[in-house]
Structure formats: structure tokens, C-alpha cells
């Protein structure tokens, strides 16, 4: 997949109705992504896994950064440059910049080039390379990537699509998520699907392992099925439960005024450690949303896309459950595409449960592995006509 850059969008939220006035988001804290990552309390988006490659904007061209035993490298247009940049505009100098080590990380420094270097579209002389950062060199834009960003980009391709149009919005989506994380602004995800499952998958790829994901609102069966940490209708309680992780709300089903959620989000000690994600099927009349992360309808995706989406969710399930690679068959994939591809949540739940059943061998063991009661899993299987698993359970009982 490719990363395309756009000016990072601001998300502007207004409160319900003119009579309630305007909800003003407090000024964001200083973006600390350029802070030395080895300094105490430094905030680095996507964790402390160092950048190891630079991807050219709008292309699949990737420049690997040097191995651990190399202290610095030259970036430029000359053939002998360690990281050679081919710029059709001719704005890259022969020796334009250098990258050099700062502990286990990299910094970049301009070598008095004619056109200088840019950090997220702003002129700079030297800065730390952090995940998602856009580095302008002449007429070329590079995006700094670590392994976590690559995994996020792959998941966003699953959600947004693999065609050329989707590739063009990929970079904007990444920068939207990055901006929300760095400035602790709400991340708005918009689309017809129930997007809590999508929000949770983004959370898994942008927070530390085990960080809580809490839904603020009414309890739904689908939320429990995708393993949210907790569900609480009270914003204060939700943010307490989600400390260090993410609070997710459905815009159309808020049990409280949105300004109460913002107040809870900006309480001292909360704002710097907890992300707020707002899922909206369409733009509500009582707020103004600029450039949300828009998820296309699954019904508009091609059959090949759906097959690939299901296969990738199955790979996630196999990895999560520690199952054998053969725990999800082509027949399973075709069944999910036919029967369960109405939402990302349905696909995630179906693939996870089929992998568990195939790997465990019977519904009782599968339910235990999934953290479900065998009755709940049995009802799910029966409702979908997956009688082979129910028969297997009965036959095992009859042999006792």
C-alpha cells in the first residue's frame, strides 16, 4: 500500500443546537513527537519501535534505513548517496541531507541544500524521525515508518480498499489518526457500518498491548462479541476505566450531551493518556465535522475485496487464538462472504468463532477459548445453520 500526504485535517465539533452555545475544545498540548524518545515521559505516537524505513509518497518505493552498525547516511540525488532520491522536479541536491543515529532512533539534518528539508510541510533544519512524520526533500515527500505504522496501514487498506482511489486517501487517514493521537483531539470515524469494531482495531494498532478499550453508551451484544474491555453509560466512569487506552462513543446514541463527554475527556490526568473516538453513521445536525475518517460501505466492495477482507480477519483470529494455520478453510471463507459480510463486526466475530471451533474440535472447548458460554456459542451456530458443530457435540455426548 502507499501513503499519500494531505494537510492533516482538524476535527471541529460543535454542540447540540444553537441554544446550547458552542463547545470549544481546549487548546491542544504541544505536539511532543519531536521530543527525544529516550527522555522521560516523551510521547511517541505508535510506541517506541524505531523508524526503519522511509516510503515515498504516492508510491511503493521504500528506502530502508541503514543497519545498526552504520552511524549515518547521506540522502541525495547523486548515485553514490546511500539513500538516493530520484526527483523529477530536480529539486533534490546531490548531497541534500544526512540521517544519523540518536540512540536507537534516527534524526535527519539538512546539509545546507538549496531547497532545504521540511518536517510535516514546515521548513526545518534538524529533527527526530518518528512514525507517520512527513519529510520533504526537494520535490519528494517521504513518510517515516516503523512496524506498527505498517500494520496500521495494512488494516486501513482492509477498511478503505486496495484500489487507486483508496490509496489516494490512505495518507490522509493516517495523518488524521496521528493528529488525533498527538493533540488528544477526538478521532471521528464516519460510515454506514457499526464502526465500534473498526475503532477497536485501530486502537489495537495504535496503543500499547493490553490498553483498555471502553464503549461509553448502551450495552450491545456486538460490543461484547468483539471483546471491548468494558461498557459504561457514564462518561466519567468510562474514562476512568479506559485510562491509558481509548473511549469510544456512537454519536447517534449518546445517553448524555456531547459536551459532558468532552468535559470528561479533558479532565486533568485524562487528556494526556486517553484517546476519544467518535463513531457516526452520518454527520449529526448538532455538530460540525471536518474530514473524518470515512469508511466506505462494505456492500460497495468487490467480491475479491470481500474475500481478502475475510481472509485477513481469519489470519488475525488464528494469530489471536494461537490456532493452526488450517483452522480456516476456503469453504469457511466463502460462507462468511455469503452470510456474514454485512459489517466489519460480523466478519470479525464469524471468523474468530469459526477458527475457534475448527481448532478446538467442539463447541465446548471453542466457547471456553473465546470466553463465551457454550450455550451462547451454540445459539450462534444454530441460528446460522452450522449444524455440523451441534451434531458433533451431540455425538460426543452419546458416546459417553
Q: Which residues contact 57 (CB under 8 A, 6 or more apart)?
A: 2, 3, 4, 5, 134, 140, 141, 142, 143, 171
Residues 137 and 161 in one domain: no
- Give me the residues of the chain with pLDDT under 70, please: 1-45, 47-48, 183, 255-256, 271, 283-290, 387, 389-400
Nearest to 45, CA basis, from 30, 32, 28, 36: 32
What pLDDT score was predicted for residue 35?
45
What pLDDT score was predicted for residue 286?
54
What pLDDT score was predicted for residue 44?
55
Residues 133 and 213 in one domain: no
Q: Is 178 contained in some domain?
A: yes
Residues 22 and 165 in one domain: yes
Residues 185 and 156 in one domain: yes
Q: Is 224 contained in some domain?
A: yes
Q: Is 124 contained in some domain?
A: yes
Which of 145, 172, 201 is the C-terminal boundary of a domain?
145
Please tell me the distance from the alpha carbon of residue 372 to that of residue 219, in angstroms, as a whole number.
17
C-alpha radius of gyration, the chain, whole number: 23
Residues 101 and 175 in one domain: no
Give whole-number Cα distances, 21 to 64, 239, 256, 260, in Å: 51, 24, 16, 14
Please tell me the distance from the alpha carbon of residue 362 to that of residue 365, in angstroms, as a whole number.
6
Residues 361 and 380 in one domain: yes
What pLDDT score was predicted for residue 57?
84
Residues 307 and 394 in one domain: yes
Which of 145, 172, 198 is the C-terminal boundary of a domain?
145
Q: Is 1 contained in some domain?
A: no
Residues in the chain, how many? 400
**Structural domain containing residue 202:** 18-26+152-294
What pLDDT score was predicted for residue 165?
83
Residues 57 and 141 in one domain: yes
What pLDDT score was predicted for residue 155?
97
Q: Which residues contact 372 (CB under 8 A, 6 or more apart)?
A: none
Residues 234 and 272 in one domain: yes
Encode pLDDT of 64-105 as tens digits.
999 989 999 999 999 999 999 999 999 999 999 999 999 889
Domain containing residue 97: CATH number: 2.60.200.20
Asked whether 51 and 144 are in contact (CB, 8 A), the reply is yes
Residues 162 and 281 in one domain: yes
Residues 258 and 344 in one domain: no
What pLDDT score was predicted for residue 121?
92
Please give the tally of structural domains in the chain: 3
Q: Which residues contact 299 (CB under 8 A, 6 or more apart)?
A: 342
Q: Is 243 contained in some domain?
A: yes
Asked whether 364 and 346 are in contact (CB, 8 A), the reply is no
Amino acid at each position: 500500500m502507499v501513503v499519500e500526504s494531505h494537510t492533516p485535517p482538524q476535527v471541529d465539533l460543535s454542540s447540540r443546537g444553537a441554544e446550547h452555545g458552542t463547545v470549544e475544545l481546549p487548546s491542544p498540548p504541544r505536539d511532543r513527537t519531536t521530543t527525544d524518545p529516550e527522555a522521560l515521559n516523551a510521547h511517541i505516537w505508535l510506541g517506541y519501535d524505531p523508524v526503519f524505513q522511509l516510503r515515498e509518497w504516492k508510491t511503493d518505493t521504500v528506502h530502508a534505513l541503514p543497519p545498526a552498525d552504520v552511524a549515518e547516511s547521506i540522502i541525495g540525488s547523486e548515485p553514490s548517496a546511500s539513500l538516493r532520491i530520484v526527483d523529477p522536479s530536480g529539486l533534490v541536491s546531490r548531497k541534500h541531507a544526512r540521517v544519523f543515529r540518536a540512540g536507537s532512533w534516527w534524526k535527519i539534518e539538512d546539509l545546507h541544500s538549496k531547497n532545504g528539508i521540511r518536517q510535516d510541510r514546515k521548513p526545518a533544519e534538524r529533527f527526530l524521525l518518528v512514525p507517520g512524520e512527513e519529510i520533504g526533500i526537494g520535490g519528494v515527500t517521504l513518510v517515516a515508518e516503523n512496524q506498527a505504522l505498517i500494520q496500521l496501514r495494512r488494516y486501513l487498506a482492509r477498511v478503505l480498499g486496495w484500489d487507486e482511489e483508496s490509496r489516494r486517501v490512505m495518507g490522509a487517514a493516517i495523518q488524521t489518526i496521528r493528529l488525533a493521537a498527538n493533540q488528544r483531539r477526538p478521532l471521528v470515524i464516519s460510515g454506514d457500518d457499526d464502526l465500534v469494531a473498526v475503532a477497536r482495531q485501530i486502537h489495537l494498532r495504535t496503543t500499547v498491548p493490553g490498553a483498555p478499550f471502553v464503549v461509553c453508551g448502551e450495552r450491545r451484544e456486538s460490543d461484547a462479541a468483539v471483546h471491548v474491555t468494558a461498557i459504561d453509560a457514564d462518561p466519567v466512569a468510562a474514562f476512568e476505566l479506559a485510562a491509558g487506552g481509548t473511549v469510544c462513543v456512537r454519536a447517534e446514541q449518546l445517553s448524555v450531551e456531547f459536551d459532558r463527554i468532552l468535559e470528561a475527556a479533558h479532565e486533568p490526568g485524562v487528556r494526556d493518556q486517553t484517546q476519544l473516538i467518535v463513531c457516526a453513521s452520518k454527520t449529526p445536525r448538532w455538530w460540525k465535522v471536518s474530514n473524518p475518517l470515512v469508511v466506505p460501505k462494505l456492500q460497495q466492495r468487490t467480491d475479491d475485496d470481500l474475500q481478502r477482507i475475510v481472509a485477513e480477519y481469519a489470519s488475525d483470529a488464528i494469530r489471536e487464538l494461537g490456532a493452526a494455520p488450517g483452522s480456516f478453510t476456503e469453504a469457511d471463507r466463502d460462507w462468511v462472504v455469503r452470510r456474514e459480510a454485512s459489517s466489519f463486526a460480523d466478519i470479525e466475530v464469524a471468523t474468530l468463532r469459526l477458527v475457534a471451533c475448527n481448532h478446538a474440535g467442539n463447541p465446548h472447548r471453542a466457547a471456553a477459548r473465546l470466553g463465551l458460554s457454550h450455550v451462547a456459542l451454540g445459539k450462534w451456530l444454530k441460528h446460522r445453520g452450522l449444524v455440523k458443530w451441534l451434531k458433533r457435540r451431540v455425538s460426543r455426548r452419546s458416546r459417553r
